[in-house]
């Protein structure tokens, strides 16, 4: 069995962007957080749900992806909805 390469933060970012696009059937806008803990990686991905005028009223969804240390997706869930102009 081959030992998988441990991934760094840039690898994780690319992987999650690609997987999020495929799983969510939407183009991710950005990654708002990446953190590593003893279990692997947690990545928050921002996706546009509804475009508004002006754009500060766009409705965004934030998903959290959980990956192991080798970058395998273990799961994901939507954690909140916000307006683009929100400062929280």
pTM (predicted TM-score): 0.85
Highest mean pLDDT pick, 3-7, 55-59, 70-74, 75-79: 75-79
Res 2 pLDDT > 50: no
Q: Give CA separation, 38 vs 4, 20, 21, 42, 81, in Å.
A: 17, 23, 26, 11, 28
Residues 6+ apart with CB under 8 A from 5: 70
Q: Give per-residue pLDDT as tens, 27-61.
A: 999 999 999 988 899 999 999 999 999 988 999 99
What residues contact 2, with CB distance under 8 A and at least 6 apart? none
CA angle 51–57–63, rounded 5-degree value: 70
Query: How many Å apart are CA 34 and CA 71, to the nearest integer?
Result: 12
């Amino acid at each position: 069995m081959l030992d998988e390469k441990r991934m760094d933060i840039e690898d994780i970012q690319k992987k999650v962007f690609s997987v999020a696009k495929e799983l969510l059937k939407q183009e991710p806008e950005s990654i708002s957080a990446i953190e590593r803990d003893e279990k692997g990686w947690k990545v928050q991905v921002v996706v546009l749900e509804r475009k508004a005028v002006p754009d500060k009223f766009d409705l965004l969804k934030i998903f959290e992806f959980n990956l192991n240390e080798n970058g395998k997706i273990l799961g994901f869930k939507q954690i909140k909805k916000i307006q683009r102009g929100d400062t929280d």
